[in-house]
Chain A
Amino acid sequence: MIKLNPKLSQKLSYTILFLATVLAVVPVVVIIFIIIKNGASAITWEFLTSMPKDGMRGGGILPAILGTLSIVTCAIAITLPIGVCAAIYLSEYAKNNLLTRIVKLAIVNLAGVPSVVYGLFGLAIFVMFLKLGVSIIAGALTLSIMELPVIITTSRSALNSVPYSFREASLSLGVSRWQTVRYIVLPNAIPGILTGAILSISRISGETATILFTAAAFSVPHLPHSVLDQVMTLPYHLYIISTQIPNMPENVIFGTALVLLLMVLTMSFVAIVTRIYFRKRRKW
């Protein structure tokens, strides 16, 4: 083996580590740059607030934006309360026996199931068996099931980050377990739970495969009226206009991608700000 002198090996390893970091960052920057460069010209007030025209080649993408927003809102409204309750049960109440350990393991692994599998499941259960049809509610339910393991996992780690001694102090004063959870543990875990929830929202905003089976339509000539309506969604709309429609103006495609990207990035940004805000307020 060649023996490098310490100075040289230090320089070499530094260079390799630095290059790896650059390699990780560059593609992201390039993607964002290309999308902004090609899409910015399409973003106008009309683009954001009107219906598509000329076989989607003109007009706006309002129905797709609203479709995505309504599905995501419904999904998070369903999954957050259930996920937080399950997390509280698992962290604060469940005895640490074999069954609990299996459940916890299953939850962690469920988060790794491909979304297209969830989509197929949603199609079978919600769309066909429960006869909800291809609709906002079917899509939202499918997304909530997909997101539930993530919400439970992030909420559990938020609950576990509250020091055990706080619980002990509260219990030792004769306060019941539920009140301890309600008044001591939950208020201190909320920042973590919120951050997890917001990141989940941004993740499901871009979700395509599940929606494809359960909620999305090629084109809907009107805005959604009820949760039983089919809707257009941004990710699916993007797929359609970039593969199915000939002579599509490029700036519309990139403009749509830019809107989706901005939505997701805004969510992540809100998550970061929330976390900083609560961390500053935290007193321990």
Chain B
Amino acid sequence: MVDKIKVKDLSCYYNKKCVLESLSINIAQNEILSIIGPANSGKTTFLRTLNRMNDLDVTYSRTGKVYLVGDNIFDMNMENLRKRIGMLFAMPIPLPVSIYENIIYAPKRLGLISKKSEQDAIVEQALKDASLWNEVKDRLSSSAMKLSGGQQQRLCIARILAINPEVILFDEPCSGLDPISTAKVEESMIELKQRYTIVLVTNNVKQASRVSSRTAFFLMGKLVEIDKTDRLFVSPKEKRTEDYITGRFG
């Protein structure tokens, strides 16, 4: 397997307080890597470091290196990096415009579209890949705010797909969704694995076991254990991992 992302000795701090300690981890191309762990274990911080959303926070600082196929992401232009590593947030955030405009917004701004005729094709493809097309094809011009929570979240996935990134980060994407919507989002995740590398942060241990090829367990800012998902869930090496996945704490 080819490594898409290599994290070397990464430590993250808020107001000089360490929240993620010397993390080294490799993420393979076209895998879904789940990150599980209780609150305050540094999962989201790790995710927001990967596409540098945390750089917006003035209290945040970090040491260490992260490579995206050979390039250190901290030396890259932030816009280019975020185009290559997309991110889905815990709460769906549709922009306050139509469904169509939501999808086409980033490609337009990034100059990915040269002709207007390409727009329709991009919108259709992105919505199909996020398995939302059939539900919204007749009302593309209506407000994205009127969609249900699950539809909004898939719209946000479609919005990321429209700029064709290499890696997609999912930050507890189903925490606000009902089980049926969750199933749909998980379905599209497995579908997307063919073409993208996915990192999924989740509070839902079962979700990790359902969708991911490998799972990492974080605790108090440290990586406790990482292994193939089926192996980690059946025979974890660490006692703390076992306690967490069997629901004894967290």
Contact = CB atoms under 8 A, between A and B. Distances in A.
A175 B110 contact: yes
Interface in A174-206: 174-176, 179, 183-184, 188
Nearest to B143: A283
Interface string B96-112: 11000000011001100
Nearest to B94: A169
A173 B89 contact: no
B109 A283 contact: no
Interface residues of B, number: 29
A174 B83 contact: yes
Q: Which of A95, A96, A172, A183 is most buried by chain B, counting CB atoms within 10 A of its CB?
A: A172
Given A96-B58, A174-B79, A169 B109 contact: no
B73 interface: no
Contacts of A176: 79, 109
A183 B86 contact: no
Given A175-B110, A283-B97, 5 more contacts: A166-B96, A168-B89, A169-B156, A173-B83, A173-B160
Contacts of B51: 172
A170 B95 contact: yes
Q: Dominant SS at the A interface?
A: helix
Interface footprint category on A:
20 to 34
Interface of B: 51, 53, 56, 58, 79-84, 86-87, 89, 91, 93-97, 105-106, 109-110, 143, 145, 156, 159-160, 163
B163 to A, nearest CB: 6
A170 B110 CA distance: 11
Contacts of A165: 89, 91, 93
A284 interface: yes
Nearest to A166: B95
